[in-house]
Structure 1
């Protein structure tokens, strides 16, 4: 009986110790997730970790990582020194989202803004690339350029059909702006369909389209030279849902950089921005601006200093109406 009592006592102590350890870990995770910047184990400086792009050749020189470095520098006066560090291994997008959600290994990432991501993470409400990702060039079939030469309005463009991927946000945005869309399962399939005149044009990002034309150079497709579509699309820093301190720091640093002009200097001098703007060639194209009805209500499209160009009043009115309805439903 004595031995059984001692064994039972040891088990109870072990259970208590285990529960205590789990409690301590949980508390530490909760505390750590609220830090704007902290020392990682074995390091001597405060830092935040950022995941390198999965396909990046030189991640230290990537646009978003270098912008993060600038933002941390610009917030130093209020929050103290902090170093941006790259995770020493690459993660696919789904794993990046999981790590950020679990507050594991990384403290900040950059995503295209969406309502679903807002439910999982905390967004920093300042665009980090001036809405550049919302500009779309048109991939068309070789020989079809004359069909687009006289297009001046969205109504003109609505006579033609766009191709998009199944489930892509772009497909929904185009449809809601009255533009016909056909969908398919992959970029390869879409380019094949375009080459066979199954639809008329394939809107793509300014950097994406160059890569894809090189990849599928044997296909009879090209960039249309006179038009571009644009809609409010925001890439933002996201942090763990509980890390309000880091979100506050990044928002402060971004606004400081916007105010003192260092953000624009960085944006217009970075090689990736230069390449994208060269491809878009705003001065030589007719830009057809459409609204984005699926954009989260907090996105500040009315703050012109955050964007490449001001958005049409109809888009501002649509966003304001959506905000009012959202408040009424709360």
Structure 2
């Protein structure tokens, strides 16, 4: 009986004592020196702390792995080295991993203003239609969902495998503009003085950034979803977004009221993600502030 009682107590207490181990890929060294990754690790920590009462302790480990977005996704999908990534969603990515359907940037990731070469704003001011802009070459990553979205909307796109090389390609005239999420553009312009922010247009398409978890760890996905939902309902996520060094003041600096908004269709969204965006109503962050 004593042995049976001990086994019973251990079985009851195990879920309480278990520690969720989250291994995420850190690949900032392969990109610019601006560490957007810190935003995601900070919001991940917020979610894990919020979920402590229900799920208990956790361990968060930075793993130097993943040479690109696609490589990082492959590692997580095969449960090699890492079990969590953050990236823009697509049906393909949602098939390979468990998506935590909570837009980590409140829709800001799909609100794009562009980097251009200094002294070339006049080229964009002289355009008479969106069709003319679409004939300019936009720079994007070879395997990015953005490339598919832009091509699907009849925009010309030049690509590169390495994220970091796109800035030099733009500076050297290999393409005309580099659409970036608002918070990215204002951080990057400080690093590349030969570039400027285009002042006339904002390109918008639904493209939420999610946490994705290896299918071997459904509990971790459930935990993060629970934590983010709590943070959303108690207002702490909004406070986090408004005060974080990466996102603070980005919308105001973009001067959206004086920009022409170009809304594009995203053919890569799953029906489940479309419903989640409607429920959370985060995407009005961008297009609600721009002129039509």
Shorter-normalised TM range: 0.7 to 0.9
Candidates 142, 145, 150, aligned match of 2:118? 142
Q: Which moved more, 1:62-71 or 1:154-163?
A: 154-163
Q: Which runs of structure 2 are paired with 1:230-245 in the superposition (5 Å)?
A: 230-245=204-219
List runs of 5+ in structure 1 lacking aligned partners: 1-34, 40-45, 313-330
Candidates 163, 181, 184, aligned match of 2:157? 181
Candidates 222, 225, 235, aligned match of 2:199? 225
Contact 1:121/1:238 (<8 A) preserved = yes
Q: Which runs of structure 2 are paired with 1:54-65 in the superposition (5 Å)?
A: 54-55=27-28, 62-65=38-41
Equivalent residue, structure 2, for 1:121? 97
Three-state SS of the structure 2 residue aligned to 1:200 is coil
Q: Distance in 1 between matches of 2:135 and 2:218?
A: 47
Q: Distance in 2 between matches of 1:116 and 1:311?
A: 26
Deviation at 1:307, TM superposition (A): 3.0
Q: Distance in 2 between matches of 1:58 and 1:222?
A: 17
Three-state SS of the structure 2 residue aligned to 1:309 is helix
Equivalent residue, structure 2, for 1:317? none
Equivalent residue, structure 1, for 2:11? none
Three-state SS of the structure 2 residue aligned to 1:236 is strand
Quick one: structure 1 residues 189 and 258, their matched pair in 2 at CA, closer, same or farther if it must change by over 3 Å?
closer
| Structure (1 or 2) with the larger CA radius of gyration | 1
Q: Distance in 2 between matches of 1:176 and 1:163?
A: 15
Three-state SS of the structure 1 residue aligned to 2:285 is coil
Quick one: structure 1 residues 170 and 144, their matched pair in 2 at CA, closer, same or farther if it must change by over 3 Å?
same
Q: Distance in 2 between matches of 1:192 and 1:76?
A: 44
Candidates 234, 243, 260, aligned match of 1:269? 243
Q: How many residues align?
A: 267
Deviation at 1:186, TM superposition (A): 5.2
Deviation at 1:276, TM superposition (A): 4.2
Q: Which runs of structure 2 are paired with 1:1-330 in the superposition (5 Å)?
A: 39=18, 46-51=19-24, 53-55=26-28, 62-77=38-53, 79-83=54-58, 85-87=59-61, 89-92=63-66, 96-97=72-73, 100-103=76-79, 106-149=82-125, 154-155=130-131, 157-158=133-134, 160-184=136-160, 194-195=170-171, 199-209=175-185, 213=189, 216-217=192-193, 219=194, 221-274=195-248, 276-277=250-251, 280-299=254-273, 300-309=276-285
Q: Distance in 1 between matches of 2:172 and 2:75?
A: 42
Quick one: structure 1 residues 254 and 102, their matched pair in 2 at CA, closer, same or farther if it must change by over 3 Å?
same
Deviation at 1:187, TM superposition (A): 5.9
Task: Please give the per-residue CA displacement for 1:24-80, whole angstroms capped at 9, x wherever unaligned.
Answer: xxxxxxxxxxx99863xxxxxx34324263338999x92222222222333345x24
Which structure is richer in relative contact order (CA contacts within 8 A, separation 6 or more)? 2
Q: Distance in 2 between matches of 1:132 and 1:36?
A: 37
Q: Distance in 1 between matches of 2:164 and 2:43?
A: 33
Q: Distance in 2 between matches of 1:305 and 1:232?
A: 11
Q: Which moved more, 1:303-312 or 1:111-120?
A: 303-312
Task: Please give the per-residue CA displacement for 1:300-322, whole angstroms capped at 9, x wherever unaligned.
Answer: 3323533353779xxxxxxxxxx
Contact 1:134/1:230 (<8 A) preserved = yes
